[in-house]
């Protein structure tokens, strides 16, 4: 199944109310570390800062920030710097105070705990390949093989 056909099929089952996606915040992959924290967790900290309650950012600005970060990934390369994250926030239309908080490298969550919990949940699902993306069939209680071209049809049959 081509990606474009899969995207159309997935959009149809979501629109029909048959399933829904659960985006985990650690979808940003990378092997680099900042102060002992994996780069994906560092980037997720920026996402939580952008969405933290005291922020004045709107949902649309937040989504544009996510798109900016996703679009600037460098697979196999270095993750964005604090200054780059700030630039993405500004480009996304985030208020200046939010962009400043992001570039300061703070966190609205305990990122080490979040990283540990995320790994534990993925490990429970598959101790041999505890990573993302993971598609889990809640009805059957099993992980689906996303490399099987028919995985979406199998999910819809449960």
Helix (H) or strand (E) holding 117, with range, is: helix 111-125
Let me know if residue 133 belongs to a domain: no
- Does 63 share its domain with 32? yes
- Does 55 share its domain with 6? no
Q: Percent of the chain at pLDDT above 90? A: 4
Q: Percent of the chain at pLDDT above 70? A: 69
- Does 84 share its domain with 18? no
- Tell me how many domains the chain contains: 2
Q: Which of 5-14, 35-44, 60-69 has the lowest mean pLDDT?
A: 35-44
- Does 44 share its domain with 86? yes
- Does 85 share its domain with 30? yes
What is the average per-residue pLDDT within 101-107? Answer: 76
Let me know if residue 125 belongs to a domain: no
123 three-state secondary structure: helix
Peptide bond into 133 cis (omega under 30): yes
- Does 151 share its domain with 104? no
Q: What is the DSSP string of 16-77?
A: TTS------TT-S----EETTEEHHHHHHHHHHHHHSTT----HHHHHHHHHHHHHT--TTS
- Per-residue b or e along 33-48, where b marks 16 or more CB atoms closer than 10 Å to that residue's CB: ebeebbbbbbbbbbbb
Which of the four pLDDT bands, split at 50, 70 and 90, describes residue 29?
very low
Domain holding 96, by residue range, is: 25-108
- Does 60 share its domain with 4? no
- Does 84 share its domain with 55? yes
Cα separation of 153 and 145, whole Å? 12
Let me know if residue 140 belongs to a domain: no
11's CB contacts (< 8 A; 6+ apart) are none
Cα separation of 31 and 73, whole Å? 12
């Amino acid at each position: 199944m081509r990606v474009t056909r899969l995207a159309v099929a997935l959009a149809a089952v979501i629109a029909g109310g048959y399933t829904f996606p659960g985006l985990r915040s650690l979808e940003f992959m990378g092997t680099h570390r900042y102060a002992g924290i994996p780069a994906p967790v560092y980037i997720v900290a920026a996402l939580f800062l952008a969405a933290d309650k005291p922020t004045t950012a709107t949902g649309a600005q937040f989504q544009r920030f996510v798109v900016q970060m996703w679009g600037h990934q460098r697979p196999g390369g270095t993750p964005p710097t604090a200054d780059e994250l700030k630039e993405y926030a500004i480009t996304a239309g985030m208020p200046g105070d939010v962009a400043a908080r992001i570039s300061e490298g703070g966190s609205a969550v305990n990122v080490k705990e979040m990283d540990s919990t995320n790994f534990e949940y993925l490990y429970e699902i598959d101790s041999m390949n505890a990573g993302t993306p993971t598609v889990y069939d809640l009805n059957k209680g099993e992980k689906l093989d996303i490399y099987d071209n028919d995985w979406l049809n199998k999910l819809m049959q449960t």
